[in-house]
Amino acid sequence: MSGPASTSAPLKRPRSPVSAAATDNRTKKLKLLAEHAAASPFPDFLHPTIEEAYDVHRVLATAHPDITTTHRAPSEGSNSAKTCGSVPNVLESLIGTILSQNTSGKNSTAAKRSLDAAFGRNNFEAIAKADKAEVVEAIRHGGLANKKAGVIQTILRDVHAKYGEYSLQHLAGVPVSPKDEKNPEDKTLRKAVSNEDAMAELVSFEGVGPKTASCVLMFCLGRYSFPVDTHVFRLTRLLGWVPQKADRVTAQAHLDIVLPGELKYGLHVLMVGHGRRCKGCKNASSSKAACVLKDWLKDRKGLTKQEVQEAVLESDVKASEST
């Protein structure tokens, strides 16, 4: 965990003023979160039901018994880019999740290891003060290095400007008992931060969207949250759990409201695992391959083989458009 940064040396480059576009984007993100913190963007869409959620969880858990469906405490020894941010340090979790975007686990893992080798693990000050080209070179294995380097450095500089240190550990706060309230000078005590406030703070940083923030909430902070990546979006569309007009952001807002909290972690990791492994529910070329979700749609929802295949094609196309 990083401590307060030294104030003896200024940043090599002053922080650029926040652009009007960045401010507008942040405002839009926070507005969307506020609107759907307690209500789905699709209040009249009644799927998934609780029964459907539990049933699909059971089907996928049976098909993939090697996938752990209960949340594990984040580990100091984890590579945050490989594990979707499953480390105790919130800022490291956020950076690792950014590195994992739009690339393979192998590539993102290599990018995080290279970043640590170049600057030292969680030496956030060094990363923030480095020339951007140095960061780009360190994370080039993960793809989109120029964009990701800019996002990471901007976040680090914004965190330091806001808190005077490179840390977001206040988001990992735990509830305090009434007697502890009488000792406000005890800096080891942290007030609990609600899921809504933690999500709002994370997406307030430029380049951080609801999916990335949700990963930090779930994998690092152990909160009930439901990140919707490409695999999850495709499969929830296939299952009829989100309306046809939903995009990934509104799909996540809807599912985070309607899914039982205790199923969110399991359903997420199972859908990601199934999405990576199963060849039977991806595209037209795999129409004859087996898939437990296609069987579920036929057996439990009464869809014909043709209807199932049309649903596979439609969900695959829509998911591809969202990346």
Catalytically active residues are 211
DSSP per-residue codes, 258-322 = HS-HHHHHHHHHHHHHHHHH-STTS-GGGTTS--HHHHHHHHHH---HHHHHHHHHHHHHHHHHH
Residue that is written with structure tokens 């759990």 in the block: 241
Chain length of the chain: 323
Query: How far apart (Å, rounded) are the C-alpha atoms in residues 289 and 293?
Result: 12
Q: At what angle do helices 20-35 and 195-203 cross, to 10 degrees?
A: 160
C-alpha triplet 282, 287, 292: angle, nearest 5°: 70
Residue 52, H or E segment: helix 50-63
